Amino acid sequence: QVDLVESGGGLVQAGGSLRLSCVASGLTFSSYTMGWFRQAPGKERAFVAGIRWSGTRTNYPSSVKGRFTISRDNAKNTVYLQMNNLKPEDTAVYFCAAKYYGAGTDQDEYDYWGQGTQVTVSS
């Protein structure tokens, strides 16, 4: 059974930082592109960041580029999302996801999902 478990969410003030973690089990971690998505109340789930197996290829939408950094530690089966200079509009449930090889920014391309962790940014 594949399991993705996110942690690290919480409440921070605007301008603050959080680091999310996602630990994967039940899959060959290095064979998967890992991604982060988020869903705010009343909005569709949106792509936040993606990283290929080697960690050398990353992808971000303009809404977070320059503020968020995705990284991975294949030895620990863990992907991270470092979030700096957080804004109130970053408030959402953040989901970790895994995609077998290749790049992807659409949620339908991802095979496995975590349960989500809440990030709340106050003004």
pLDDT at 48: 98
pLDDT at 102: 87
pLDDT at 22: 98
Residue pair 4/73 in contact by the 8 Å Cβ criterion: no
Q: Which helix (H) or strand (E) holds 48?
A: strand 46-51
pLDDT at 15: 98
Residue pair 6/18 in contact by the 8 Å Cβ criterion: no
pLDDT at 96: 98
* Cα–Cα dist 2/34, whole Å: 14
One digit per residue, the tens of pLDDT, for the chain of length 123 reads 999 999 999 999 999 999 999 999 999 999 999 999 999 999 999 999 999 988 889 999 999 999 999 999 999 999 999 999 999 999 999 999 999 988 889 999 999 999 999 999 999
